[in-house]
Structure 1
Amino acid sequence: MDEMVLRAQRFINSVYGSVPGINKVAEDGITGWSTMYALTRCLQHQLGITTLSDNFGPTTMATLTAQWPSINRGTGAPANLVRIIQSGLYCKGYDGGEIDGIYNDRVSAGVSKLKADAGVGGLFAGDAMVPKLFKALLTMDAYVPVSGGAGDVRGVQQWLNGRYAHRPNFFIIPCDGHFSRDVQKALLKALQYEFGTPEAQVDGVFGPMTQAGLRANEVAVGSAGVFVQLFTGAMIFNRRNGVAFSSSFGSELQTQVRDFQSFVKLATTGRGDYQTWASLVVSHGDTTRRGTACDCVTEITTARAQALKAAGYAIVGRYLTNVPNTSLNKKIQPGELAVISGGGLRVFPIYQTYGGSVTYFNPAQGAADALAALDAARGYGFKRGTRIYFAVDFDALDSDVTSNIIPHFRAIKTRFGQYASEYQIGIYGPRNVCSRVAREGLTTASFVSDMSSGFSGNLGFPMPEDWAFDQISTITVGSGDGRIEIDNNIASGRDSGQNTFDAVSGGPKLDVAFDAANRGALIADLAAYLEGIGYPERPWQLSNADTVDRLLNHDGLFTGLARAFRIRKALLQAPAFFETRMSGPDDALAEAAVTNWYTYKIAYEAWEEAGKVGPEPTVPIPVQEDSSTGIGQIRAGSAISARNYCARQGITEEAVLDDSDWHVMWDVWKKLKNDNEYNISTIPLLHFWGAADIGVARPGLADSDDLTRRVIARYNGTGTEADQYGVEVLGIYRVFEKYNAPARNLS
């Protein structure tokens, strides 16, 4: 909390809090948009504007300019107008005096410092607050370097402000060292000014007039002046290392231009020609460029393959699945891959169902997407090493990447590791999304949606270093039967796609999603079976219906696991149902004892690290280091053994866990208890480990009842009780199979 920001908030509330259209702000001493918006409304009210708005727009600017074109100690501005300036200064991190309405030396110094930081001290000399600066004051833009900001980027930002901020359509941009949407638009406006564009047409848009201006202002070795400054500034904004902001084009810059051109796959002329300018100032660059890759939602027929090949395309992106409950048939069609490869083309797979809003992205969906994509890619015969591009197809804000998209892709990577995936993970999306996910180590290449040049994740962000495909335009090629609409992509060479595919077995069918229409019948059959073997519903246990619903809440995961590992879904459902249904008070007591034990271990470790100062923690009674827990009632020790076995056998790609470390045991036990997804994903691994332990074949799709019974029995241990468990749970397996088998046979 900042005391002076708090005082600014109290000023807003006390002086303007009763004014219609000005809501009171939280008095928390923390600068935020709510405080800045309130100060903007206070200014509008002070100027006599009746319709108040968060936006410091043309009306506010014109009214302020007419009434107070300059405010300092000699202009006699109203005290509250000065208090708004003082409050804004404090919210911006500058000294604003005492918020007393007096434009004193401290206010003068704060305003002068703000001008210097913003690079406009030369334009707006002296200590007066002027309208353009007032607008900048009442934003959250920073004029000092912020976390990760680059000094050379900030220098260009200050130069742009210092050269153009007096122009009517140019407003002071941040000087924080970050290339952003506002900075990119400012760069385009600066170019438009230098082209001589009429003021009314200066809009920061990459339109025909701007394109014509760039074509007419090529820069190269020997060039000098403002266009070289703008060109080097654009290079710096695109994070071309070592580029100096300069007004002269020398041989060193020529080399750096060639490096950039090579990076974005332009002709390496070393000149600031139109295509190079375009690639620097707008995400899609020159949309008339023809790439060698494309993607489409349309089946590639023989005629279309011929048309694409004739148009210079070599690689085609096609979709692994359709979007559920829609009529669009965009997925790869039977025999299409053979047509593509037979036509001399290669293919890369894309996975997208929805992916069009932030709410789609979360760890559970990421896990489900990973399973679905793996299943589909294997079903088409994509070979080991193929990269699957998971789509983020919306204008994701940076905060969306942090809150939703990175966790989503972390879950995808986890799932790929759990299934020893032979495939690589790629991402389709705006520049910032691709770059941030890649920096987390979650993807190996990016398919960039640069065609969406207005996306905040593209505006002001450089091309991802790991880009494989750059989507820049939608075009139509071919005619007649060969006519096809495609997205035109530039290929970097990082991913050449595939042109041969593994044979797809015609063996037993894989399980599919449960048909919710059968829920009631499934519950009735399970209830009848359990009562028949002496397990009626008890008040202290979950009902059969509640247990089934718990499993159906994770049906996508059960289905995906079964398909990924090529085993029967009922082999996962049966023990999960029985263990959940039969859990009771004794299990809860055992879980409490385990929690008490590790609470003691943590306290004892802290006591030792503190030099054994104070009383020694008391050992709990009873001592219980492990217990069955979670939806599958799995012990941590068993889970560690199973996961380590599968990792060593190459069934998964997870790291081997240290079973001698109690911290690992505690961590695994907590995940088994609290994370249903982790618990359920352990069940197939327990079956694989258990089968190896008793010397039987690894479970598959066409196992005998005897093998299935023995594997289920080992889930519970060994001995007479485990054998009985195998017999009882095999019956539950058969009930689930009664509904699973018809569904998969119809698929």
Structure 2
Amino acid sequence: MADEMVRKAQQFINIVYEGKLGIGRIPETGVTSWSMMFALTRALQYELGITSLSDSFGPTTLSTLQSKYPALNSATVPSGNFAKIIQSALYCKGYDGGDIDGTYNSRVAASVARLKQNMGVDFVYPGGNLVPKVFKGLLNMDAYVTVNGGSDTIQAVQRWLNGAYVHRRDFFIIPADGHHSRDVAKSMLFAVQYELGMADGTANGVFGPGTQSGLKSHTVAPGDSNTWVRLFSAGMVLNKRPVAFTGTFTSALASEVSAFQSFAKLPVTGTGNFSTWASLLVSYGDQSRNGEACDGVTLITTARAATLKAQGIKYIGRYLTNPDPTPSGDLIHKAIQPGELRTIAANGLRCFPIYQTFGRDASDFSYPQGRAAGQAAVNAALDHGFKSGTRIFFAVDFDALNEDVTNSVLPHFKGITDAIADDGNRFEIGVYGPRNVCTRVSEAGHATASFVSDMSSGFSGNFGYPLPENWAYDQIVTRTVGSGDGAINIDINIASGRDTGQNSFNPPRGPLPDTRLNSSVLTAMQTDVGKYMESIGFPNDGGFRSHTHEVCFRTVVIEYDTVITQLAYRYKMRKALIQTSAYWEMRHIDAIDVSKDLKIIAEFNATGSFGDSSTGICQIFGRTAVLAWNHAIRKGYAEGSIRDLNSDQDKYNIWRDCMDDDQFAISTVPLIHMWNADGAPGNVFEEKPLRPVRLDYTESETFQILRRYQGPADSEATPHAKQRMALYQIMEKYNSISRNV
């Protein structure tokens, strides 16, 4: 909701400082924003005589303010504009700033006093003077009252930390909004270091060796009453344990400590020992712990299995696929290798599968990509021999911010959920990622267990978030264990028992060539393809496009099944590659495409000049068809006569074949795929060659083939290929069923 005094503050900045702050005009919306706070910060720097302005209220701003105006009030404020900056900032924070008239009056002083009270620093900085650290806290978007259902108990912790440590050089005022956060978590580490006696400049808010060593001698237990107990209870509060914020270690606190230790799989002592301190302060906790689980990218041999058993490992996480078609070094065996699951089971160990291909950025997550990931994981799990009931952990391996989770990760997991459901819920869904990702995905109903990447303690989604309630594996440290042939580098995971992997597997499915579709799968296949296409905006009745889902499916998948089977066998590629490209293009045909075809025919008949365009059920350009066929003939993939790329007649003839002869068009699709795999020689946009198309193509190679069929990487072909990957996986699902019957 717009606030007229905030709007007046924005107008003040625009009028007085236009062209002076190194930024454009502030939108006069009447709504507080970071852009407004940055502008006020720059205005302050300008008034302080700082020549290099920035959005950050950093050390230079703080030290300059401290040296010139250690206490701002009606007697010391240097100018009307300086006072207006303070008044404007107060309104942006929700406090009374007077009339923004350049006067540090009693209303301003009263608001500053209330601000300090809300921060928890009023007894450190009494009265209505504005001091530098409070000014710094004024010029940001932090709240000092509870917001969005914030906890009063957490707010009490925040205010206590501010009041207790604001006098220290490197401690700055944190929010008092009732919510745990990265800043609050770091302030707790500073507080611990200060209580350990670390000097300013030594204390750094990092859980390093000195901090760990000091904490080992500060166990707190029932009956203790001191600042260490207060800090410990604060850690419990911030980890959402139902305790009071107290300086006395009561029996009630001891009971909740025992419950937390049991939950986190720590030794249950009911005391605040080092391992418990560590779990409260940092996501990875006490990294000296031994876990019953591990994960890694290394092949499990008999010798390595023996090493893991000797370490107390019971559960091993291994990857279903490796997106790199030519892995090297440590990643050569990232994916489960032939015979490996047999070795794991024979040595009394259990395996839980992990699915990760891309997943390093928010752009790798969306509903269509989730659909593709879900079905790809099912296909891969079945290929390796995992049985129904296995939980597959889908990875989110980047520092996903809250908005990334909302906009990308949750839709992605909805896609995974839908894909698993359409497959008959043979497999359960787990999520791998930072704490916030795991919690939100699980609360949305898209995962039944979490594999927490707590080793990435600096991730925004780990710093300040509690361990998810449904955690199954907690990844805490990387170690190399064993020696000689048994040496192996692994990530150590604490296991909760919520997931125990599998120790019995079906025979693996080899890379068999495709066969004709089994008639028993056609109805389900048509339904699944239609449901997916509807989910991305293609109604089954065709909408404004020329063909319905039924017509496209019947034409491409059913009527030409024998032809596509023969083509796939001849060229050693998956049928799904041909089916996906043909079906996708046919679904996209609309009246504009038909009109273009008629215009090209009329122009050629009238002038002999060929104006190229995509045509036919597979939407192929004449130039593309010539290049693909010539390439295939020269390579020995196909037989025929070489066509002249410079001849309009040759290009028109093959274009008409693609338009008029559906079988010819479909037969051209695999030739285009092989031409694209070889780098599309002769094309306007030549590409880096891939491996020749083969049955064991990785997902990244398949993605490239699907993308290249449509266009260059920097075009709409890339987002479309992300959608087509899900379609490909659905097609592949039913082809794999048919070839393994």
1:265 is matched with which residue? 265
Alignment pair present for 1:492 and 2:496 = yes
Amino acid in structure 1 at the alignment position of 2:191: A
| Offset at residue 77 of structure 1 (A) | 3.1
Whether contact under 8 Å (2:21, 2:43) holds in the other structure is: no
Whether contact under 8 Å (1:156, 1:233) holds in the other structure is: yes
Whether contact under 8 Å (2:478, 2:490) holds in the other structure is: yes
1:695-717 Cα deviation digits (max 9, x unpaired)? xxxxxxxxxxxxxxxxxxxxxxx
SS class of match (1:200): coil
- TM-score, normalised on structure 2? 0.72
Distance 1:67 1:578, change over 3 A: closer
Provide the C-alpha distance between the structure 2 equivalents of 1:487 and 1:382, rounded to a whole number of angstroms. 22
Match of 1:343 among 337, 343, 347: 347
SS class of match (1:199): coil
Amino acid in structure 1 at the alignment position of 2:80: A
Amino acid in structure 1 at the alignment position of 2:221: A
Whether contact under 8 Å (1:16, 1:22) holds in the other structure is: no
1:332 is matched with which residue? 336
Distance 1:127 1:586, change over 3 A: closer
1:225-282 Cα deviation digits (max 9, x unpaired)? 11100000000000012x0011100111111000000010000000100000000000
Distance 1:579 1:215, change over 3 A: closer
Match of 1:403 among 395, 401, 407: 407
1:314 is matched with which residue? 314
Provide the C-alpha distance between the structure 1 equivalents of 2:589 and 2:200, rounded to a whole number of angstroms. 77
Provide the C-alpha distance between the structure 1 equivalents of 2:248 and 2:588, rounded to a whole number of angstroms. 77
Distance 1:312 1:11, change over 3 A: same
1:19 is matched with which residue? 20
Of 169-178 and 106-115, the range deviating more from structure 2: 106-115
1:386 is matched with which residue? 390
1:82-124 Cα deviation digits (max 9, x unpaired)? 1111111111111111111111222122111211111111111
Matches within 5 A, 1:201-600: 201-241=202-242, 243-327=243-327, 328-329=331-332, 330-504=334-508, 509-510=513-514, 569=576, 576=583, 580=587, 584=591
1:502-544 Cα deviation digits (max 9, x unpaired)? 23456953589xxxxxxxxxxxxxxxxxxxxxxxxxxx989xx
| Offset at residue 569 of structure 1 (A) | 3.9
Provide the C-alpha distance between the structure 1 equivalents of 2:515 and 2:272, rounded to a whole number of angstroms. 57
Alignment pair present for 1:186 and 2:190 = no
Distance 1:438 1:11, change over 3 A: same
**Paired positions, count:** 566
Provide the C-alpha distance between the structure 1 equivalents of 2:588 and 2:184, rounded to a whole number of angstroms. 60
Distance 1:111 1:511, change over 3 A: farther
1:416-451 Cα deviation digits (max 9, x unpaired)? 111213001111111111111111111111100100
Distance 1:302 1:5, change over 3 A: same
Provide the C-alpha distance between the structure 1 equivalents of 2:387 and 2:258, rounded to a whole number of angstroms. 36
| Offset at residue 25 of structure 1 (A) | 1.6
Provide the C-alpha distance between the structure 2 equivalents of 1:266 and 1:187, rounded to a whole number of angstroms. 21
Distance 1:64 1:326, change over 3 A: farther
Amino acid in structure 2 at the alignment position of 1:258: S
Whether contact under 8 Å (1:511, 1:569) holds in the other structure is: no
| Offset at residue 399 of structure 1 (A) | 1.1
Provide the C-alpha distance between the structure 1 equivalents of 2:244 and 2:484, rounded to a whole number of angstroms. 52
Provide the C-alpha distance between the structure 1 equivalents of 2:293 and 2:106, rounded to a whole number of angstroms. 63
Whether contact under 8 Å (2:359, 2:365) holds in the other structure is: yes
Distance 1:339 1:271, change over 3 A: same
| Offset at residue 209 of structure 1 (A) | 1.2
Whether contact under 8 Å (1:9, 1:25) holds in the other structure is: yes
Provide the C-alpha distance between the structure 2 equivalents of 1:182 and 1:319, rounded to a whole number of angstroms. 35
Provide the C-alpha distance between the structure 1 equivalents of 2:510 and 2:55, rounded to a whole number of angstroms. 63
Provide the C-alpha distance between the structure 2 equivalents of 1:405 and 1:581, rounded to a whole number of angstroms. 28
Coordinate RMSD, CA, aligned? 3.2
Whether contact under 8 Å (1:511, 1:743) holds in the other structure is: no
| Offset at residue 352 of structure 1 (A) | 0.7
SS class of match (1:489): strand
Whether contact under 8 Å (1:97, 1:104) holds in the other structure is: yes
Provide the C-alpha distance between the structure 1 equivalents of 2:695 and 2:133, rounded to a whole number of angstroms. 70
| Offset at residue 323 of structure 1 (A) | 1.7
Provide the C-alpha distance between the structure 1 equivalents of 2:421 and 2:116, rounded to a whole number of angstroms. 53
Distance 1:262 1:745, change over 3 A: closer
1:456-505 Cα deviation digits (max 9, x unpaired)? 11100110111000000000011001101000110011001100012345
Whether contact under 8 Å (1:307, 1:483) holds in the other structure is: yes
Whether contact under 8 Å (1:186, 1:204) holds in the other structure is: yes
1:592 is matched with which residue? none
Whether contact under 8 Å (2:21, 2:46) holds in the other structure is: no
Provide the C-alpha distance between the structure 2 equivalents of 1:499 and 1:575, rounded to a whole number of angstroms. 41
| Offset at residue 740 of structure 1 (A) | 10
1:38 is matched with which residue? 39
Whether contact under 8 Å (2:154, 2:180) holds in the other structure is: yes
Whether contact under 8 Å (1:575, 1:729) holds in the other structure is: no
Distance 1:738 1:23, change over 3 A: closer
Amino acid in structure 2 at the alignment position of 1:336: E
Whether contact under 8 Å (2:321, 2:336) holds in the other structure is: yes
| Offset at residue 149 of structure 1 (A) | 1.4
Whether contact under 8 Å (2:77, 2:104) holds in the other structure is: no
Amino acid in structure 1 at the alignment position of 2:390: T
2:151 is matched with which residue? 150
Of 734-743 and 94-103, the range deviating more from structure 2: 734-743
Which consecutive unaligned segments of at least 5 residues does structure 2 have? 517-544, 558-563, 569-573, 596-615, 618-660, 675-691, 698-741
- TM-score, normalised on structure 1? 0.71
Amino acid in structure 1 at the alignment position of 2:238: F
Provide the C-alpha distance between the structure 1 equivalents of 2:493 and 2:170, rounded to a whole number of angstroms. 34
Distance 1:24 1:578, change over 3 A: closer
Distance 1:581 1:290, change over 3 A: closer
Whether contact under 8 Å (1:574, 1:733) holds in the other structure is: no
Provide the C-alpha distance between the structure 1 equivalents of 2:585 and 2:368, rounded to a whole number of angstroms. 24
| Offset at residue 214 of structure 1 (A) | 0.9
Matches within 5 A, 1:49-198: 49-198=50-199
Amino acid in structure 1 at the alignment position of 2:394: F
